Amino acid sequence: MNHRPVSTVGKSTNIAWHECPVGRLDRQKLLGQKGCVIWITGLSGSGKSTLACALSRELYSRGCLSYVLDGDNVRHGLNKDLSFKPEDRAENIRRIGEVAKLFADAGIICIASLISPYRRDRDACRALLPEDTFIEVFMNMPLEVCEARDVKGLYKLARAGKIKGFTGIDDPYEPPSNCEILIQQKDGLCPSPAAMADQVILYLDRNGFLQG
């Protein structure tokens, strides 16, 4: 009898790869769109969740299926065993990258919204995805703007020393060197949620993601 080949991956021994007859291209045809990961990175308060929601609404109005993986939300479930210490932050991002990859493979426009402050973690996620399907969106808002918003009251706590290792205050944010989309102020004004979403939609449209 022919045995399916088994191998070792990481700590998993004796595992095989099962290929199903319905694949990514079939699902994309069914949905009339192409799966990808829109990775929104930036400081707390820079507007990541706002963009994610505006974008999912705009995509929905065009009949496109998207799904938002929000860093905070995923910590309520899949990643609730992880803290904010450095190795756990890296693992948090790795797992979200792996899940985003599955969603993109399912044909979905997956919108991942998380601070993801270190370039190496984001680049590791990029490396998981087929070429050109990892779309990095950098929310390039000045720290003063984010801190003035302080939607969750976290900057105040960080300034008071009650949160340690807070990105932008006592932990660095490394801006992307090669992001696909840059969101920033114009003439000292922040773009509206709709304007930010349109900027991403334009990119998706021009690059063929909105058709199967």
Could you give the residue numbers annotated as active site? 116
Q: Does 127 bind a second copy (CB under 8 A)?
A: no
* Angle, CA 93 vertex, CA 126 and CA 193 arms, to 5°: 80
Count of residues that interact with a second copy, criterion CB under 8 A? 66
Q: Is 56 in the site for a second copy (CB under 8 A)?
A: yes
d(C-alpha 183, C-alpha 196), whole Å:
7
Question: CB–CB of 38/207 below 8 Å?
Answer: no
Hunting for tokens 């290929």 — which residue is that?
A: 19
Euclidean distance between CA atoms 60 and 38, whole angstroms:
15
Which residues between 146 and 165 bind a second copy (CB under 8 A)?
Answer: 150-154, 157, 163
Q: Which helix (H) or strand (E) holds 154?
A: helix 154-159
The helix, strand and coil proportions of the chain, stated in percent and rounded to the nearest 5, come to: 40, 15, 45
- Closest distance between a second copy and the C-beta of residue 177, in Å? 26
Q: Which is nearer to a second copy, 84 or 203 (CB)?
A: 84
- Minimum CB separation of residue 4 from a second copy in Å reads 5
Tell me whether residue 63 or residue 175 sits nearer to a second copy (CB atom).
63
User: What would the x/- binding string for a second copy be over residues 68 to 87, using CB under 8 A?
Assistant: xxx-xx-xxxxxxxxxx---
Are 40 and 137 a contacting pair, CB within 8 Å? yes
Q: What are phi and psi of 186, to 5 degrees?
A: -125, 125
| Spatial CA neighbour of 82 closest among 72, 91, 71 | 91
Tell the smallest beta-carbon distance from residue 115 to a second copy (Å). 12
Residue 28 C-beta: closest distance to a second copy, Å: 10
Give yes or no for residue 65 binding a second copy (CB under 8 A).
yes
Q: Binding of a second copy at residue 66 (CB under 8 A)?
A: yes
**Stretch touching a second copy by CB under 8 A, among 14-22, 135-143, 169-177, 195-203:** 14-22
Site for a second copy in 23-42 (CB under 8 A): 26-27, 30-31
Burial label for 76, CB within 10 Å (0-12, 13-18, 19+), is exposed
Between CA 173 and CA 193 the distance in angstroms is 23
Contact set with a second copy (CB under 8 A): 1, 3-4, 6, 9-18, 20-22, 26-27, 30-31, 49, 52-53, 56-57, 60, 63, 65-70, 72-73, 75-84, 88, 95, 98-99, 101-103, 105-108, 113, 128, 150-154, 157, 163
